[in-house]
Structure 1
């Protein structure tokens, strides 16, 4: 479910020890799970704040609690700590926070939305862009709409064919292709003009 590296366990244990609270643990939860605004969070969890429905994981040095409603979005989550010249950095990666992991036999729209949210949109976000599924045609063509920095971008056709279509067809083999229905005449926020 959630992987916490040894270095992250040691680091978190040191922080917990400084709190000087008997039975202090750590709680992981996702705010706005299943949306593009999802954030994965870590917080101290004193015994009086443990929720009965939380999933409990004994990390030996401290207890880890997973928020019950966040569990599907925390699948494959990874917590690591890496020391650097400035001290170090705690990293939390939850690839399924925006869309929960789905089964291979899930309906095609669910699988397409999952791969858009987990693999494609994080890359487009670097340019302020995003893409969403509008519909799937009877002949298995995914109709997509770009937004943000992708709308009106001069490189969108390359992004569509070389990135989005290629990735989606690899991940969803019965998909026959993609089609863009974005109005690209609006170049107001375009990443490349």
Structure 2
């Protein structure tokens, strides 16, 4: 895991922790909705009793940072900086892998599925105002998906699911055997066809 937190960011975050007046306070770093277009990088206070055994720990000269286990791959190459300005300052967090982590054959199956959805499948569906997202993985081999936008209620969604989405996912994600659609297609307000 390669995360850079500049000296100025460490000083700034350390000063915020000191104001909390709690011994052993750390910073928790995590991604909300990792691996999706809605991913957001977050920093939060973490009291000693809130730390989790599976957290990755970054012991920096000026502070301790806890990285949520599920966010580690998404935070690789993250960069945190603080620049002072006339009216205070600006904390900047860049996490280039938050929306699309580096995945490999040993990445969790959910990450592999999301990678294929957002890099291969959704760009094609976007032309019709549609998208598909992962809801769950059953028994480590069946992906449960939800279609949205122009795909919801579209008369061609069964063909899209079987010939496009399922075929692509099974081909690109080892161990995946089937895809199920959890979408209510009786709602046709924004359907493409």
TM-score, structure 2 normalization: 0.56
Residue equivalent to 2:69 = 68
Q: Which portions of structure 1, spanning 4 or more consecutive aligned residues, are displaced by more than 6 angstroms? A: none
Aligned length in residues: 123
Q: Decide which of 127, 130, 133 is 2:120's aligned counterpart.
A: 133
Q: Trace 1:67-106 onto structure 2 (pairs within 5 A).
A: 67-102=68-103
Q: What is the CA RMSD across the aligned residues, in angstroms?
A: 3.0
- The 5 Å alignment of 1:180-191 reads none
Other-structure match for 2:22 = 21
Aligned residues of 1:54 and 1:66 also touching (Cα < 8 A) = yes
Q: Which runs of 5+ in 2 are unaligned?
A: 105-110, 130-193
Mapping of residues 134-173 of structure 1, within 5 Å: 134=121, 144-147=124-127
- How many angstroms apart in 2 are the aligned matches of 1:91 and 1:134? 31
Q: Which residue in the other structure is 1:171 paired with?
A: none
Unaligned runs of 5+ in 1: 104-109, 118-131, 136-142, 149-193
Render the CA deviation track for 1:74-125: whole Å, top value 9, x for unaligned: 000110001112210101110101111246xxxxxx99x96x96xxxxxxxx
Calculate the TM-score normalised by the size of structure 1.
0.56
Q: 1:134 to 1:68 in 2, by over 3 A?
A: closer
Contact 1:3/1:76 (CA < 8 Å) preserved in 2? Answer: yes
